[in-house]
Structure 1
Amino acid sequence: MESLFGDTYEPQDEKSRLFADVILPVPIPKMFTYKIPRNLAEEVGIGYRVMVQFGQKKVLTGIIGKVHQKPPKEYEAKTILDVLDTYAMVNPLQIKFWAWMAEYYCCHIGEVMNAALPAGLKLSSESKVQLNPTYDADTSPYPLDEREEVILQALATKAELTYEDCQELVGVKTIHGILKSLVIKEAIIIFEQVKDKYTPKVENRIRLCHPYASDKQALERLFQEIAAKPKQEEVLLKYLQEIPVYQNPALNSKGVEKKVIADAGLSMSSLKTLIKNGVMEEYKLIISRFEDKEGSGEEIKLSEEQQRALNEIKQGFQDHQVNLLHGITGSGKTEIYIKLIEEALASGSQVLLLLPEIALTTQMVGRLQEVFGSRMGVYHSKYSDNERVEVWNGVISGKFAFVVGVRSSIFLPFDSLGLVIVDEEHESSYKQYDPAPRFHARDAAIMLSWLHQAKTLLGSATPSFESFFNARTKKYGYIQLNQRYGDAKLPEYILSDILVDKKKNLLKLDFTRVMREKIQEALNKQEQVLIFQNRRGYAPYISCEDCGWIPECEHCDVSLTYHQFSEEMRCHYCGFKENVPKVCPACGSGKLAAVGLGTERIEESLALLFPEARVARMDLDTTRSKYGYQRLLEDFGAGNVDILVGTQMITKGLDFDRVTVVGILDADRILYFPDFRAGERAFQQITQVAGRAGRRERKGTVVIQTRKPDHYVFDAVMKGDYKNFYVNDMTERQKFFYPPFVKLIKISSRHKDYKTAEKAARHLHNLLSDIQVRKIMLGPEKGLIGKIKNQYIFESLVKLDKSGNAQAVFKQELQRILEEMYANKEYRSVRVVVDVDPY
């Protein structure tokens, strides 16, 4: 039996008591030890889900992290209530990964488990029970006892029951055994929240009854009997057209979807009659949510430049576990990825390809599915919980040897990873900010890869300074791609000065003369345009022109963003919203005006400036639905949209051959942000969005609207001079102690009372200052946004020396100090958030 640390244990005496250390989905600093019942001793192991009692009333799903014979000294161990699995849902490597993540990101392993497991794999006393839609008491092979029948009868009249409802119905203290039995008998399904309620994808199908499918004479007699009923005859003929039972009677078992009859415009009442008369039968079939697709098996042909890069990557993997592929936009990194994935799969290894955004998965997934078909799984947050559980189980069963996903896919139950690829590795959306663990998926993926002894490839046209620093210091291998695929030309850059146009009265609806001309030229040639503005909504805020009043969120220290389409003002931090006032609440004036530019307002302006153009918008508001991204991108790719306005979503990896003009409306917003990475992020975003232009034989144009055309970042972008830009910025970082020269940890104290939050922050800051390691402490200061969701925020920033054991010592002492603080009544209600690598 394998432990958390990889060693094995075999009990010497079968009768000796076994204990399990169980990981629970709660923010506690350690695993809890439970007794393993003797009757379950042979059924448990590391990675099995178990039901346990936690506290007086709570029942939770835990994961066994270790099996041993040592009873706990501090408390009397409770007994595991039940085992939920017949095989491990989590493997020992995952548990090691969780333990590393908890330690590195200063959180608890239970919080990591909570983030890692799909909700459909977690069961607790907050769980609810529903009747399995496919359960049929008449055909079920499993007998029910009286208590099980009571629960099913109640579910026949009520859509769902709580855990406690079930206990009261049958009059028992613990219901888990009865519920487990009903789950095994496929009579019920358990879920946690309404959004997690399991709804299997079911097809209503029909087929011929015996003997008509296997006996030709019986079928011919049937046609004679219904000759006078042409509508029934049509239904039968349509079925035989779809399922030629004359040629192959075995095909009948599959049947056809019931809607085939309806779609053909045939009589559904005649079908009902045929079913009633025993000629046909209707049945339900649960099907996978993922289509089975055959890969095309097409041979990917690489250019000479791509083949050189591929050879260098393979060579690099011999010397380095991590390699950085620095390929300019449009250089064809995807084809190189495909070659590497094919080779890894052929060797029997699993592969994980990380993408920063769901928007990016839409195009990339389509491309990869053509090659890999149903061997490939897709994992992201827009999928329902049911779909995520299917992918999880697909990785365990071996159905999916290759997974494409966003940051949460690092938690999937891989057991033999051979290759991890992190595309657009510089992207800030790889960072999870809330809740814990507040991890960076790129960094976590590198550790996951190391645990599996796998190789990692980081890909980007504009690498993060940390990754490029590691490449320059030979920690990572480094490969460059300097040519666009198919000899496509790099775009031409035009800086358009907003202030100059404003003085000359040439600025119209926030668009400069050059921007309008270039858009019109593209439209005249029936080419497409991308407009980038990193702010959604109609305008950042509305303001009273007479008294200057600006509406603010009731719960956060931010102004409300005006959304014209829904006629409301919304807080993008807590979700608070209210209707737009008709008059100013402060002075009664009716002069309320929208200030600033949001994507919604830009969309409206473009419709006025170019009435002949078809304009669409891609931001969080227009892509909330599951396939919102996909539909927009398909419309754009098909040429049904001339101008696409978008936020960061449009900067990443999209590839459309008719896009020749890219407009960046307010580049200064990216540049002048209070963040030491502002220059790096501005260079990355502008270069990435510019890379969407002219990706085939047509040369692209990028128009950048700015009030500071002489800024050094624009000069670096236009020259494509990443290395010099990096060297200049790194000099500043080294001088003022910023990453990659130090490790940053941000510690926030949050409380509904301003003074309590401030006092706790100062107390914690003083205690941390006494830790004897090389460090710089800044703060505590009121947060950049001082209040979010009615919680006042004070922050301290720690700059830790990267050499020696400074990080390990500081994190250990931080954990001890936090435990002491929470034991103090004065600070118990203060929420302390620790964010490692916060920016």
Structure 2
Amino acid sequence: MESLFGDLYPQEDSKSNLFADIILPVPIPKMFTYKIPRSMAEQIGIGFRVIVQFGKKKVLTGIIGKVHQKPPAAYEAKPILDILDNHATVNPLQIRFWAWMADYYCCHIGEVMNAALPSGLKLSSESKIQLNPTYDSDTSTYPLDDREGILLQALANKGEMTYEECENVLGLKSIHGIIKSLVIKEAILVFEQLREKYAPKVESRIRLSKEYASDKKALEALFNEIANKPKQEEILLKYLQEIPVYKQPELNQKGLDKKVITEAGLSVSSLKTLIKNGVLEEYKIIISRFEEEEGNGEEIVLSDLQSKTLGEIKSQFEEKNTVLFHGITGSGKTEIYITLIKEVLAGGSQVLLLLPEIALTTHMVGRLRKVFGSSMGVYHSKYSDNERVEVWNGVLSGKISFVIGARSSIFLPFDSLGMVIVDEEHESSYKQFDPAPRFQARDAAIMLSWIHQAKTLLGSATPSFESFYNARTKKYGYLALDKRYGEAQLPEYHLADMLVDKKKNLLKLDFTRLLREKIQEALSNQEQVLIFQNRRGYAPYIACEDCGWIPECEHCDVSLTYHQFGEEMRCHYCGFKEKVPHACPACGSNKLGAVGLGTERIEESLSLLFPEARIARMDLDTTRSKYGYQQLLEEFGSGNIDILVGTQMITKGLDFDRVTVVGIMDADRILYFPDFRAGERAFQQITQVAGRAGRRDKKGAVIIQTRKPEEAIFGQVISGDYKNFYIQEMGDRQRFFYPPFVKIIKITTRHKDYKISEKAARHLHNLMGEIDVKKIMLGPEKGLVGKIKNQYIFESIAKLDKSGNAQAQFKHDLLLLLEEMQVHKDFRGVRFVVDVDPY
């Protein structure tokens, strides 16, 4: 095959006529056809990872999606370079799921593959050049020009160089001609340096050699021999203390982790001597990155009400594939989940338990690990590449049959999925916003179950309106559990009017008198407090009291959030940050003050109001480390923290016996957010965080701080009147055409030039208006945040009729329009983003 470097690939036998359609991790709307070399024909199949050349320089990892005998008509198929495994890494059910996701969410299957595979299963490639060891300039028949000589000298000095480094040495933008010439002259070798990111965890172990392990006299003679070598003697005694070879001979075969010796401070050189002299043997084994723990098969004792609910769920599954489980906070949903999971696993099927937040995952893992042991895997973004590959391979091999994880766990290689449980199914964090695929994990999980002919259980104390609507229209099964488990009582709600307290001069550091009194009462009783504010940082922004100047991000249309820790202002969109100025840049005044409330500021206020209390904060800033969540929750659970301040991380599923007071700092901010779901989300968040109070026999107190206590939603939250709240909101949704009555697709246009972005958005909007389906088109309008990372943003909204094929037709035509727009001479640098179900 002719390539940039000539005929680098061997010609294949003409009888070799097998081809493979390969999924590549690139945003291109089709698979690419490659030739299967005759030598690989017997080893290859659907789902295998292979290395292929893509373009002139790139080498990529691909997944085989189809094997056939039809060569491509438009181009000559390149051969597959290599196979990475001796078994399929991806199964056909996964490929079917990827294809559905690409189709439904208007993206490309390569983008789905890129999101689905852990980074550790993808290869990174970089073209490199080195001197040919057999090349001799004195005897070569090919003369070199000046640039070729300079490049060869640089390679002699450095050993190997990348394309980019070669270009820099010669000061040229393109060196392809020079490289090709040097390849022909056999002066250099071009190679792809491939590095597989995943590496198994290897442990070095030692054991007593057979000569001494099986013969006490030989061992005694050895001790006599090394009597004057105390360091060697100390190592042997340590080994025999850890591994009693004569009492339990089988333990010597397993040996001892080498670290036990080295970390005990014993001589490393003496250890090496013992190994060299054949007294000890050193060997390596591959071990799991996760603690091996046997499940204890703990029997879950259900209450009569829980047992009845479990029976109803099973009954519903006989008629429906998806069931909505509406259980109030503290009703004991977890025990029902565990019982169901056990039954499905006993039947030989796999189970996936989806959770919306890593914080919640951390909290449940310990409990579930005790029940299911090492047959359970945990999968989320805080895990390293190697850990995620290990879970992937565990599912692939059948070692792991039950996975608990965040939204990315729907991509694992299940082959016999029996049930998917989506806990807190209403949570917005199930939605992936960037990059593509921009999927909703709850909806995708339902399709995953359908592909596997499995069952889906959606659990929530405050179901999403879409799920509740599907239950009321009999698309889903439905059952409710409206009593707390055991003796636990529902909390008592209090509305604290901030304006009244402010007029009476009772508002201190943004805390009403009622909330301060309840916190003090809890602290006096050695109980715990949760304070909820869904905004991190010290304050939303700082402002000049004299001229009103507010610092803004240089790259985005947003004000900078003030973080007192580090004395800096940060953009939460692009990460830009700068130090807080000493004086106003606009007028020179030094009257710069923080405006609004962030978790950092609340933490500081609490330390002033309650100096004796142990206070901690849980938000993105304090949980960036791998075990940040876990450490905070363990501290709180053990009683080492009295007051925990947090964002929405603290609203989900946390169960602590001693929490008796929950404070919601600014309920109005949740309620008046510019989003058609604002009311629904306010109801959910307030109800969820309130559910953390009074989880046992102690009645908790929930204090909602608001400037508008007369709002109807507060009364509905307090009375737990979800149904009437739903009916009221759905009337508005139907009247103004919002989900679940229509399907929404948002199309975003981005470009560094404002006018080009606007022109492209208007042109595309007009073209979409001509698509012949029943729809409402809105926009294009400047985005709520009009500029992010120096890109100007415009948005169009399509509201599509849910009946018939309006959605499929619109998506199909939209993708064709986008292909046209991408090659339009005026819009080549414009980025278009399609987001299905964006809110």
* Same-fold status (TM-score > 0.5): yes
C-alpha change, 1:276 and 1:608, in structure 2 (3 Å) is farther
Residue by residue over 1:57-113, the C-alpha shift from the partner in whole angstroms, topping out at 9 and shown as x without a partner, is: 111111111111222222222222222221111111111111110110001111111
Residue by residue over 1:155-213, the C-alpha shift from the partner in whole angstroms, topping out at 9 and shown as x without a partner, is: xx99999799999999776646xx7xxxxxxxxx824xxxxx55653434333234222
- Are 2:97 and 1:97 equivalent residues in the alignment? yes
- Are 2:33 and 1:28 equivalent residues in the alignment? no
Selected match of 1:190 from 188, 192, 195? 195
| Matched residue SS, 1:76 | coil
User: Which aligned pairs between 1:395-474 and structure 2 lie closer than 5 A?
Assistant: 395-474=395-474
Rounded to whole Å, the distance in 2 between the matches of 1:572 and 1:213 is 62
Say if 1:128 and 1:190, in contact at 8 Å, map to a contact too. no
- Are 2:538 and 1:533 equivalent residues in the alignment? no
Rounded to whole Å, the distance in 1 between the matches of 2:159 and 2:271 is 30
Say if 2:121 and 2:198, in contact at 8 Å, map to a contact too. no
The residue that corresponds to 2:584 in the other structure is 584
Structure 1 counterpart of 2:195, one-letter code: I
| Matched residue SS, 1:731 | helix
C-alpha change, 1:198 and 1:412, in structure 2 (3 Å) is closer
Which structure 1 residue ranges, 5 or more long, are not aligned?
1-12, 130-145, 148-156, 180-188, 192-196
Rounded to whole Å, the distance in 2 between the matches of 1:172 and 1:806 is 58
The residue that corresponds to 2:384 in the other structure is 384
Say if 2:419 and 2:454, in contact at 8 Å, map to a contact too. yes
Rounded to whole Å, the distance in 1 between the matches of 2:397 and 2:188 is 37
How many correspondences in the alignment?
787
Where in structure 1 do 4 or more consecutive aligned residues deviate above 6 Å? 157-174
| Matched residue SS, 2:377 | strand
Q: CA deviation at 1:227?
A: 3.7
Residue by residue over 1:213-263, the C-alpha shift from the partner in whole angstroms, topping out at 9 and shown as x without a partner, is: 222111111222334555543432221121011123332232223343455
- Are 2:693 and 1:693 equivalent residues in the alignment? yes
Say if 2:198 and 2:389, in contact at 8 Å, map to a contact too. no
C-alpha change, 1:513 and 1:159, in structure 2 (3 Å) is farther
The residue that corresponds to 2:506 in the other structure is 506
Structure 2 counterpart of 1:765, one-letter code: H
User: Which aligned pairs between 1:268-667 and structure 2 lie closer than 5 A?
Assistant: 271=271, 274-275=274-275, 277-667=277-667
**Is the deviation greater in 166-175 or in 514-523?**
166-175
Q: CA deviation at 1:590?
A: 1.3
User: Which aligned pairs between 1:9-408 and structure 2 lie closer than 5 A?
Assistant: 15=15, 17-126=17-126, 175=191, 190-191=195-196, 197-198=197-198, 200-261=200-261, 264=264, 271=271, 274-275=274-275, 277-408=277-408
| Matched residue SS, 1:190 | strand
Rounded to whole Å, the distance in 2 between the matches of 1:112 and 1:162 is 30
Rounded to whole Å, the distance in 2 between the matches of 1:127 and 1:456 is 46
Rounded to whole Å, the distance in 1 between the matches of 2:14 and 2:761 is 53
- Are 2:757 and 1:757 equivalent residues in the alignment? yes
Say if 2:128 and 2:191, in contact at 8 Å, map to a contact too. no
C-alpha change, 1:215 and 1:561, in structure 2 (3 Å) is same
Structure 1 counterpart of 2:649, one-letter code: M
- Are 2:747 and 1:747 equivalent residues in the alignment? yes
Say if 1:163 and 1:175, in contact at 8 Å, map to a contact too. no
Structure 2 counterpart of 1:190, one-letter code: R
The residue that corresponds to 2:9 in the other structure is none
Percent identity of equivalent pairs: 78
**Is the deviation greater in 305-314 or in 252-261?**
252-261
Structure 2 counterpart of 1:706, one-letter code: T
Residue by residue over 1:420-475, the C-alpha shift from the partner in whole angstroms, topping out at 9 and shown as x without a partner, is: 00000000000000000000000000001000000000000000000000000000
C-alpha change, 1:77 and 1:259, in structure 2 (3 Å) is closer
The residue that corresponds to 2:824 in the other structure is 824
C-alpha change, 1:521 and 1:39, in structure 2 (3 Å) is same
| Matched residue SS, 2:587 | coil
C-alpha change, 1:529 and 1:568, in structure 2 (3 Å) is same
**Is the deviation greater in 239-248 or in 624-633?**
239-248
Q: CA deviation at 1:282?
A: 4.6
Q: CA deviation at 1:285?
A: 3.9
Rounded to whole Å, the distance in 1 between the matches of 2:794 and 2:453 is 41
Say if 2:742 and 2:801, in contact at 8 Å, map to a contact too. yes
Q: CA deviation at 1:598?
A: 0.6
The residue that corresponds to 1:6 in the other structure is none
C-alpha change, 1:40 and 1:640, in structure 2 (3 Å) is same
Q: CA deviation at 1:642?
A: 0.4
Residue by residue over 1:269-291, the C-alpha shift from the partner in whole angstroms, topping out at 9 and shown as x without a partner, is: 65455456543345544421011
| Matched residue SS, 2:554 | coil
C-alpha change, 1:171 and 1:216, in structure 2 (3 Å) is farther
TM-score after normalising by structure 2: 0.90
Say if 1:657 and 1:695, in contact at 8 Å, map to a contact too. yes
Rounded to whole Å, the distance in 2 between the matches of 1:605 and 1:399 is 50
| Matched residue SS, 2:578 | strand
Structure 2 counterpart of 1:784, one-letter code: L
- Are 2:722 and 1:722 equivalent residues in the alignment? yes
The residue that corresponds to 1:10 in the other structure is none
Residue by residue over 1:723-747, the C-alpha shift from the partner in whole angstroms, topping out at 9 and shown as x without a partner, is: 0100000000000000000000000
| Matched residue SS, 2:450 | helix
**Is the deviation greater in 219-228 or in 240-249?**
219-228
Rounded to whole Å, the distance in 2 between the matches of 1:712 and 1:171 is 81
Which structure 2 residue ranges, 5 or more long, are not aligned?
1-12, 135-156, 167-178
C-alpha change, 1:694 and 1:558, in structure 2 (3 Å) is same
Rounded to whole Å, the distance in 1 between the matches of 2:327 and 2:489 is 14
C-alpha change, 1:826 and 1:330, in structure 2 (3 Å) is same
| Matched residue SS, 2:246 | coil
The residue that corresponds to 2:734 in the other structure is 734
The residue that corresponds to 1:812 in the other structure is 812
